[in-house]
Structure 1
């Protein structure tokens, strides 16, 4: 196995001590992680701990609970929510997973220890360990261990106070339903079919002849090898004492669970789930938005001061990894009091003069996020939107250079989700609308048709993909759409593949994600009704000028077959009965 770089381990480290502390409640494991980190920092040591936890939800170090987890479900079921010491996305742990925490004091002469090579170095070490046991695993960047393309585990890292912290987990069994219920943006859908599908996306070390002790020994030896240290086993009783959270360095992003969320968010599940402590949620930032980057999602919140001319606070968070650990907190401090019209330049100056390493996202992504947040302010003034209404808009701009009003001025089509039509409407699963006046969708059709826009009801996910392809072929500049932000985050690749800028309005009401019926929704069989935000839609449409003849009149159709690939772009034959 090739080593990506010579690991800059502290010269005082000559061995990697390891122990298995067994099954403990999640909060106790977090305290042991913190104690292990403090010991390595103070004694320039290297430690490796194997451990297990009952069902628990673990946020990444820089995540906000409301974007990552189904917190209400967790508290109702007594599932504790904790914050890892490392970055990356939220994860679900249970007693059938083997977790490991590695802490290594880094060289005193390393002023900026590289972060990027560590996931590959440790992931490949675990790959080697499993290969020695006859398991055909391999490391798949950026942080996955896989067997035959299915996820076996993940590796997350951080460097804090001169100590490398790595956390990894390996599945010994698969609780797909637990994962999907706890994580807010699951990879699959919570239906029997979706759960079965999720199980096929994961792999487990479920061979009964493969003992946990053998896996631990192989991992200990392989990790020691890449670090150049001697493997030494120690008794759990000799392990460093646990340490409770309590410093600013152990807190999550501002605004999460009552301001600066401590590492331990829920210490232990109450005996009675109904007695779970109330969560003191901070007031949301006035202007909010998000951008999808290669390595995760960046969320931002910007609150102007009462004058509306300067930044009172700026918060950035997400399922991301970077170094130094306090980078985003320092960014928030640097942006406070900056004039809005100077904010982008201040951000560029901060990043240019602050040495940092960003994994899976770039300075350009941060600039794109700030530009989006500043654009919310423009939307408020030009469209007469409140801060909450401006937050309902999602801007998909592949080039990242155009503001929402400019996009709306070029909008030529409108996409409406079928789930916003009433369940009793015969047009719910059909394109078109008679504008009977009994639902918000009819008003959307009326507003769009009045401006010469082609209005299309999206009937399922496959229909969305073909519709976007047809809009691209028709050389549509921009379109206006409606969908929930969960759908946009999960299926952002489909919007990106089309390459067409869009302004999307977040829908409300019965949401297939919150109702855990995504599979039905994607297939066009969702039975509940979502709601279009009609006040926002009316204000947005006021910025859309008449765009001339319908799209179908501006292009030669590729197909005239009913329900064929381009029938959606033909002039509507609307039944108004």
Structure 2
């Protein structure tokens, strides 16, 4: 039976734990240590973004700073997570052999998660693996997992929820709220569970660790022996800790550009959200830099950086981007659930957007437009006949907040929307909840609508992009750039039409778009 080292590094800071991840993985790749299993915990609590994510987009930075919550970046991909001292992390550091540890990522995930499942069942938990990378009990997530690899070695890690302060997690992170649609659940609180919630008590950490190790021992025929950090690892740790503590690592050194010279697109894939920001030189028609983020996993993670690098200072043309993607296809890599064509479609939309400036739009305005089924050129030719407005932009307490109509009292921006609907002979609808949205989109399909214009926030569009596209009617949506239900963690209430805060429509852009559409017809 093969002998593995077991480490329990106890409570460490975010930077210390991430540094150890890098050090142990590199040491295994270089062959200076044997296969290793590590248990880890964090103190103070930490909000961790995935390797490819932007801290500003995924973490509520001010809340974390005010509440002594560390912020750091994992060396693995995936989405943002909140890790409190109560949580227990587990990690596997080993070499890929094609047998016990398959080269194919999906098979590797399944095998390793099945080992963890065996361990959890020893605690009396009815755990099971749910692809692509979750362990759940009764359809409620108790452990998320993910990994990365280098030089033939891999690290695979899991976060085990022993107990959980859901409210604090919701306030620290932005990502989980956006991911609710992916998990097909009503709320985050109903989607997760913990060992304490399931058992009614909290086993000791020693009991939990013993069960997990027994699960892996049975699955892989391993004998675990407690060990220590080697002198080599300790030296590397002290050398690399300053970097993994730095803003350069945590916040990233890759510029995402600014609203004046950047193009933004997003695409929802089975592997997660993929977001693209292109910095461009309009006069020279060049891509100056590309920034690809999201909650996907990439193996090796450097493939994304390599793609970004290959796109610098090339002509702003789809055929040039296609060449870079073709070279990427020749490399050995895996991005589960995300295809090369998904990247191509992202770039295609971004490049298409710059052409819309010929209508007199700024790039900032173009970035605040979302298209459903058709591009802007379609609307310039065919026009629109309906206006969809969200109830959350109506005055709180208004008699018409949850029903059709508007008194044009001037106390909210929806009144401005209704005035524009009258000016351009559009039929206005106040969307009061998600089911009502589907009902109206179905109605537009059945009546042969040529298209609608509407307003919604970017998180809502990201979450429901496939839902909009399943209806035939083309749509043009304008972003609401304000604090929304997603920022406040209240999207469940909004889904049901119970969000009790007021947003404001971007009426200037709405008016401009209607003017342009009807001017060009």
Shorter-chain-normalised TM-score: which range?
0.7 to 0.9
User: What is the TM-score of this pair, normalised by structure 1?
Assistant: 0.78
Aligned residue for 1:300?
A: 276
CA contact (8 A) 2:433 2:496 kept: yes
Tell me, which stretches of 5 or more residues in structure 2 are unaligned?
A: 180-185
> Residues 291-440 of structure 1: matches in 2 within 5 Å?
291-305=267-281, 307-341=283-317, 342-382=319-359, 384-397=360-373, 402-407=374-379, 409-410=381-382, 411-423=384-396, 425-435=398-408, 439-440=412-413
Does 2:36 correspond to 1:47? yes
User: What is the TM-score of this pair, normalised by structure 2?
Assistant: 0.86
Aligned residue for 1:213?
A: 206
Change (3 A) 1:246 1:287: farther
Q: Residue 517 of structure 2: SS of its match in structure 1?
A: coil
Shift, 1:46, TM fit = 1.2
Aligned residue for 1:278?
A: none
Tell me, which stretches of 5 or more residues in structure 1 are unaligned?
A: 1-12, 190-195, 262-280, 549-577
Q: C-alpha distance in 1, partners of 2:411/2:473? A: 32
Q: Residue 354 of structure 1: SS of its match in structure 2?
A: coil
Name which of 104, 121, 141 aligns with 1:131. Answer: 121
CA contact (8 A) 1:510 1:528 kept: no
Change (3 A) 1:231 1:127: same
CA contact (8 A) 1:451 1:547 kept: no
Q: C-alpha distance in 2, partners of 1:108/1:510? A: 49
Aligned residue for 1:270?
A: none
Shift, 1:237, TM fit = 8.2
Q: C-alpha distance in 2, partners of 1:19/1:185? A: 31
How large is the Cα RMSD of the aligned pairs?
3.5
CA-to-aligned-CA distance 1:538-564 (integer Å, 9 cap, x gap): 23223434999xxxxxxxxxxxxxxxx
Q: C-alpha distance in 1, partners of 2:264/2:304? A: 16
Does 2:71 correspond to 1:98? no
Q: C-alpha distance in 1, partners of 2:278/2:436? A: 36
Q: C-alpha distance in 1, partners of 2:362/2:247? A: 25
Q: Residue 237 of structure 2: SS of its match in structure 1?
A: coil
Alignment length (residue pairs)? 504
Shift, 1:224, TM fit = 4.4
Change (3 A) 1:256 1:476: farther
Shift, 1:79, TM fit = 0.9
Greater mean alpha carbon deviation, residues 238-247 or residues 405-414: 238-247
Q: Residue 175 of structure 2: SS of its match in structure 1?
A: coil
Q: C-alpha distance in 2, partners of 1:282/1:312? A: 10
Shift, 1:321, TM fit = 0.6
CA contact (8 A) 1:20 1:236 kept: no
Q: Residue 385 of structure 2: SS of its match in structure 1?
A: strand
Q: C-alpha distance in 1, partners of 2:230/2:324? A: 49
Q: C-alpha distance in 1, partners of 2:230/2:302? A: 33
> Residues 243-254 of structure 1: matches in 2 within 5 Å?
243=237
Q: C-alpha distance in 2, partners of 1:472/1:251? A: 53
Shift, 1:98, TM fit = 1.1
Shift, 1:175, TM fit = 1.4
Shift, 1:218, TM fit = 3.2
Aligned residue for 1:25?
A: 13
Aligned residue for 1:86?
A: 76
Q: C-alpha distance in 2, partners of 1:84/1:443? A: 46
Q: C-alpha distance in 2, partners of 1:121/1:108? A: 12
Shift, 1:424, TM fit = 6.6
CA contact (8 A) 2:187 2:492 kept: no
Q: C-alpha distance in 2, partners of 1:18/1:349? A: 42
Q: Residue 105 of structure 2: SS of its match in structure 1?
A: coil
